[in-house]
A and B are shown apart, each in its own frame.
Chain A
Amino acid sequence: MKMVVMTGSPRPKGTTNRLADEFIKGATEAGHEVFRFNCATAKVHPCVGCNHCGFGAGPCVFQDDFAKVLAPKLQGADAVVLCGSTYYFALNPQLASAISRFYCINNAITGERKAVLITACGDEGEWITDGIEKTHEGILKFMRWTDAGRVIARGFQSAAEVASSPFVKAEFGTSVEVERFGEKIPHTRASYHVTFLVKVDASKRVAELAA
Chain B
Amino acid sequence: MSKKVLIISSSPRKGGNSDILCDEFAAGAKEAGNKVEKIRIADKKIGYCTGCYACQKTGKCAIKDDAQKVIDKMMEADVIVLASPVYFYCISAQLKALIDRTVVVYPKLTNKKFYYLLTMADTNRKMFDGSLAALRGFLECYEGSKECGKVCASGVYEKGTVKDTKFIAAARKLGMKVK
Contact = CB atoms under 8 A, between A and B. Distances in A.
Contacts, number: 128
Contact of A134 (B42, B85, B133): B133
Interface residues of B, number: 37
B58 interface: no
A66 B50 CA distance: 20
B13 A89 contact: no
The residue among A48, A88, A128, A142 with the most chain B CB atoms within 10 A of its own CB is A88
A59 interface: no
Contacts of A135: 88-90, 130-131, 133-134
Contacts of B49: 10, 87, 92
Contacts of B90: 90-91, 96, 99, 131, 135, 138
A100 B88 contact: yes
Interface in A153-169: none
Interface string B102-146: 100000000000000000001000010111111011101100000
Contacts of B122: 142
Range, interface on chain A: 35 or more
A89 B88 contact: no
B175 interface: no
B99 interface: yes
Interface in A6-36: 9-11, 14
Interface string A95-131: 0110110110000000000000000000000001011
A88 B96 CA distance: 9
B32 interface: no
A93 interface: yes
Contacts of B131: 135
Interface of B: 11-13, 16, 42, 48-51, 85, 87-94, 96-97, 99-100, 102, 122, 127, 129-134, 136-138, 140-141, 159
29 contacts: A10-B48, A11-B51, A14-B51, A46-B12, A46-B92, A47-B87, A48-B13, A49-B85, A50-B12, A88-B96, A89-B133, A89-B136, A90-B91, A90-B99, A90-B133, A90-B134, A91-B96, A92-B49, A92-B100, A96-B87, A99-B87, A100-B88, A100-B92, A131-B132, A131-B134, A131-B136, A135-B89, A136-B130, A139-B89
Interface of A: 9-11, 14, 40, 46-50, 85, 87-94, 96-97, 99-100, 102-103, 128, 130-132, 134-139, 142
